[in-house]
Amino acid sequence: MFRKGKALWFLMVAGLFALLLVGCTNDTSSEPNETGDDQTEETDTAEETTGSGEINVGIVLPTRDEPRWVQDEQRFKDALAGSSYTTEILFSQGSSANELQNVETLISRGIDVLIISPHDGDAAGAAAQAAAAEGVTVIAYDRLITSTDAVDYYVTFDSFAVGEAQGQYLIDHAEGTGVPLYLYAGASSDNNAFLFFEGAWSVLQPKIADGTFVIANSSEAEALSANAELSRDEMGRILGQVTTNWDPNEAINKAQTHLTAAGDDLKGDVAILAPNDGTARSIADVFATDSDITSFVVTGQDAEMASIQYIIDGQQSMTVFKDVRRLVEDAMGMAVTILDGDTPETTGAYDNGAKEVAALQSEVIVVDQANVEAELIGSGYYEASDFTGLE
């Protein structure tokens, strides 16, 4: 859990970035590779134009197979356009072995700072240790690297608040009592999946206990439904039953299995806790085809473009918007401070099982049909022309 500190940081980053942008005029453009069959995906950014081969900052993202991380790649590129700092973005394609190889490649390119979103929080310890051994400063990005002291900083969103917001949305839209509640979760290799679920459980459990909701698809969650707080192991048991592994196809299989097993008392008007947009759309599509399901409220996360269209069309109820521009700004701002030989400011810390990791945490925003235009178009995150059916 996040422990708070000072909060000046954002203003300083914005100032620093303005300085950086004024500095240079390079143009970078490397189109994403659609094949997706390469083991490690490479995207040269500023380095490509300077041709030096030396890289200041290495960036490693989990996979290109999810729109969320392609979004981050683009936001890094946007933020770095014209920067004098050289960076390289590599994708690990869902493999910790690739991740380690990516980090070793970047170390050989002379990086001083590594920004990394781990595929598997524990397994990424090896990559972090390899970097630290070469004097590289390691910044965990969005997902925490766990069980190692080789990570120096962490930039993230308030993941507990993501789950809390998803749970509260289901509560605010539940009518009557005995509403069937279908629980789904992220990959247990991802520390965030536990924080999301912990946040959701913190508000849902009292509503399960008072009979508002009836758990429809997890005997472990039912067995633990009297516990306001769950241990990591207890959460692990529930995740073991309802994980999607962040894979939309696995989400489809689980949803179909759960609906096939469910009796009429678990159909009708139901509530669905879906952990992110990619899985939410899959699960919603399955529930939409079950004629015994009268209506459903389904959560999401990431404000992926496809889910914004689903929300506009009423096929997904909400998403938790995490403004990736802010996360990129925080991460690059930290990297610039470190490259300048200074110590970046942080606003709190996370216990990763080996140490208290100094962290910078950003807020999240609930988006549904009522505020989708204001939050996603009004903020310039997307263009109105990216969607149909907007007012």
Question: Which spans of this chain sit near ligand GAL (rule: CB under 6 A)?
Answer: 66, 68, 142-143, 186, 190, 192, 246, 276, 301-302, 322
| CA distance readout (Å), 186 to 1, 54, 239, 243, 337 | 18, 37, 8, 5, 33
Smallest distance, Å, CB 191 to ligand GAL?
8
Pick between residue 246 and residue 387 the one whose CB is nearest to ligand GAL: 246
Q: Which is nearer to ligand GAL, 66 or 73 (CB)?
A: 66
CA distance 263 to 6: 52
Residue burial 26-37, b: 16+ Cβ < 10 Å; e: rest: bebeeeeeeeee
**Pick 296 or 321: Cβ nearer ligand GAL:** 321
CB neighbours (10 Å) of residue 312? 18
Strand partners of residue 360: 155
CA distance 262 to 331: 45
Please identify, using beta-carbon distances, which residue of 120 and 190 lies nearer to ligand GAL. 190
Instruction: Provide, rounded to whole angstroms, the least separation between the CB of residue 21 and ligand GAL.
Output: 27
Q: Return d(Cα 87, Cα 59) in angstroms, integer.
A: 7
Q: How far apart are the C-alpha atoms of 184 and 182, rounded to whole Å?
A: 7
Is the Cα torsion angle 324, 327, 329, 335 positive or negative in sign?
Answer: negative
Residue 248 corresponds to which tokens in the numbers above?
Answer: 């939309």
Q: Which residues contact 119 (CB under 8 A, 6 or more apart)?
A: 62, 63, 92, 94, 95, 96, 99, 189
In the complex with ligand GAL, the residue whose CB is nearer, 68 or 75, is 68
Cβ atoms of 87 and 57 closer than 8 Å: yes
**Minimum distance, C-beta of residue 166 to ligand GAL, in the bound complex (Å):** 12
Nearer to ligand GAL, 28 or 166 (CB): 166
| Residues 145, 196, 93, 182, CA torsion sign | positive
Closest approach, Cβ 359 to ligand GAL, in A, equals 14
Rounded CA-CA distance 141/17 in Å is: 18
Shortest Å, Cβ 210 to ligand GAL: 30
Distance in angstroms (rounded) separating the CA atoms of residues 334 and 139: 8
For the CB of residue 192, give the shortest distance to ligand GAL in the complex, in Å.
4
Q: Tokens 């310039």: give the residue.
A: 380
Nearest-approach distance from CB 116 to ligand GAL, in angstroms:
13
Q: Name the minimum Å distance from CB 226 to ligand GAL.
A: 29
Nearer to ligand GAL, 87 or 301 (CB): 301
**Residue 74 Cβ, how far from ligand GAL at the closest point, in Å?**
15
**Other C-beta atoms lying within 10 Å of the C-beta of residue 74:** 15
Q: Which of residues 107 and 140 has its CB atom nearest to ligand GAL in the complex?
A: 140
Q: What is the DSSP string of 128-177?
A: HHHHHHTT-EEEEESS---S-S---EEEEE-HHHHHHHHHHHHHHT--SS
Name the residue nearer to ligand GAL (CB basis): 47 or 304. 304
